[in-house]
Structure 1
Amino acid sequence: MLHIIRSVERKSFDHGWLQTKHSFSFGSYQDRTRQHFGSLRVFNDDVIQPGEGFGTHPHQNFEIMTYMISGALEHEDSLGNKEVLRAGEVQRMTAGSGVSHSEYNHSQEEEAHLLQIWFYPDQQGLPPSWEQKGFSIDKQKGKLIPIVSGKKVEGALSIHQDVTVYVGKLEANQQLLFTQEQGRKVHLFVIEGELEVDGQIVQTGDTAEVTEQSNLTMSIRKDTHLMLIDLA
């Protein structure tokens, strides 16, 4: 079963310093029909203006990952980590028993565009931890690259949940078949571009949620940057 959620259907907020789109209930936005998709609880598409960011704030019992699309974002946390996240880089944080962090765009000229994603963990009260890694996505065009996984996947950052997150820059006219085990789900998000998923057109900002099928056929209509999440 394939369910398409168009970009205009996602909840948008313009806070001046932050433009954001929420795929699921978050903060003041509450929709009983959009609470989560399997273990995927939050999928926010954020653009942070130059010189702005999120002040220090706490998290607990979530697996949080950030994928940087463009610009740069400085992360600092209560574990003593301080690092700048740049385009093509991925950060994952186990909030576990509790962690605080801040996220700032220190550029005075360039926006910071990112995806922030939260998963329910497979255990409560885990020790907080943090990792960051760069992926050569531009050098591996045409492939889906695993960047975060709860399984032992070479090169991917580890997460405490049965999910695998892929990103890819796929090329126009490319055909791709994604196969997963029976009974799993797919959350596919188009960062930029256009493709056909099992006969339906999906464009920039659109989401395809797939259930009850193990094979997903993708025909790339334009050069496309996408994220695909394989969930239990």
Structure 2
Amino acid sequence: MFFLNKIDDIYKKSCELYGIKNDLFSCFIPIIPLNCKTTCDFLIKKQEKAKIMLLSGTQRVYISDLQIINTILEFDAKIREWFITQLVILYTKPKYNVQFMIENEKYEGSGIDCYPEEMPFNLFSDTLIDINDFIFVMNFIFAKDQCWEKINGIDGFAKRTICKYIALIDYYANKCSRSQLFLKEIGYPYEEEKPIDNKKTKNLFNNIEKFDISLYR
């Protein structure tokens, strides 16, 4: 069973148990990282979609794509470049196998590697986490995209988010022409001072055929 199907199954059973209509119910499902050292716990919030939440004390923090991009942009240049390198590897030839457990069942996907050392930092929510907590959130997103691509047979779907991360981080961190040309070609408003991610820009990164990953190697 694909892990997204597993999440759907848990959600359906929870709705039936409590006699609640699906569109009115939020189900919280624990997810446990298996091969990366983390300091936080994690929950999947399932309603219409499945979103991962990071737990720290009493906080439950959801990190959007835009917040992931902005968080990486706030790191120093060495760490930003490490993320870009890892994302390029994931886009071209994935090497890191992310593993996690949902309801005592083990699942896998491709992600970026764990950071080689501990590095605590504060999120936008003033939540103190380690960089590998942040990376696990990213890897869940990548694994979810891969799973969705397989279930629905949408070729290249799993690369769309990776493409967005690479192009926006590279452009806003380095103002590189390789990323500017791509963003211009897909109609992304790169003239904005900061990256944006909204309904208008959401589908622009579906055009991965215009993205030349060879320029980043």
TM-score (norm 2): 0.28
TM-score (norm 1): 0.27
